[in-house]
């Protein structure tokens, strides 16, 4: 049985160690400290999935997105959704998104999210579409910049399709 809550300011070291030892890859040193600092400044909410005191996953709600398609419309962006590989397909990613969307609905009628286009993002692609996220209609982006027809781009984490979901009917 897992629970979802916002991270506390003093949890940076524990989160960094938990992520790095369980996710199968590591975040740059100071990643969670920086996220918690930004949370303290009111720029984002860092949401955690826990089983008792064990870290299972997290996501961030970023209130002012760096992506102009969201920022210009005041659409908050859900970022960095990650669930431990040994806890996937148990509804934890969905529960983190539920919690993120509830937080966003207090401020906005729309939630924004993006996914990469290669196979590592396959689960996220299916999950987001299944939950009602639709492409935002601005086409593929490389980082925050529109991908231009006829140009060549590297398929990596920056090649992103952004999607939106209407949270209120
Ligand atoms: C994407 C991710 C967060 C999903 O977490 P999760 O806890 O496994 O998700 P859920 O159990 O809530 O899955 C909900 C639904 O998503 C879809 N889904 C999830 N994983 C899937 C997979 N590997 N293949 C196909 N569909 C998948 C299914 O429809 C699933 O429902 P079902 O289990 O009833 O069939 C997780 O796979 C992950 O951390 N991936 C790596 C990081 C990543 O890509 N993050 C997203 C960045 S954009």
**Span between the terminal Cα atoms of the chain, in Å:** 31
Residue 32 CA to ligand 1 centre (angstroms): 22
CA atoms of 39 and 20, how far apart (whole Å): 21
Residue 89 CA to ligand 1 centre (angstroms): 6
CATH fold group of domain 3-166: Aminopeptidase (3.40.630)
% of the chain residues with pLDDT over 70: 100
- Convert the pLDDT of each residue in 95-144 to its tens digit: 999 999 999 999 999 999 999 999 999 999 999 999 999 999 999 999 98
For the chain, the structural domain boundaries read 3-166
pLDDT confidence of residue 49: 98
| 138 within 8 A of 163, measured Cβ to Cβ | no
Quick one: which atom of ligand 1 is closest to the CA of 95?
Answer: 12
Mutate to test the pocket of ligand 1, among 56, 88, 120 (most ligand atoms within 8 A of CB): 88
pLDDT bin (cut points 50, 70, 90) of residue 66 is very high
pLDDT confidence of residue 107: 97
Angle between helix 92-105 and helix 122-130 axes, rounded to 10 deg: 50
- Using DSSP, state whether 75 is helix, strand or coil: coil
- Using DSSP, state whether 43 is helix, strand or coil: coil
């Amino acid at each position: 049985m897992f629970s979802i809550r916002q991270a506390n300011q003093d949890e940076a070291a524990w989160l960094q160690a938990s992520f790095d030892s369980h996710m199968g890859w590591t975040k740059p040193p100071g990643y969670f400290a920086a996220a918690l600092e930004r949370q303290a400044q009111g720029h984002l909410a860092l949401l955690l999935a826990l089983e008792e005191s064990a870290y299972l996953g997290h996501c961030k709600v970023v209130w002012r997105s760096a992506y102009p398609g969201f920022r210009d419309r005041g659409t908050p962006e859900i970022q960095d959704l990650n669930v431990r590989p040994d806890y996937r397909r148990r509804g934890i990613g969905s529960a983190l998104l539920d919690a993120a969307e509830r937080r966003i609905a207090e401020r906005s009628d729309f939630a924004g999210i993006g996914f990469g286009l290669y196979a590592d993002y396959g689960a996220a692609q299916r999950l987001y579409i299944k939950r009602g996220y639709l492409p935002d209609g601005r086409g593929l982006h490389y980082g925050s910049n529109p991908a231009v027809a006829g140009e060549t781009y590297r398929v990596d984490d920056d090649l992103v399709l952004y999607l939106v979901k209407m949270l209120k009917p």
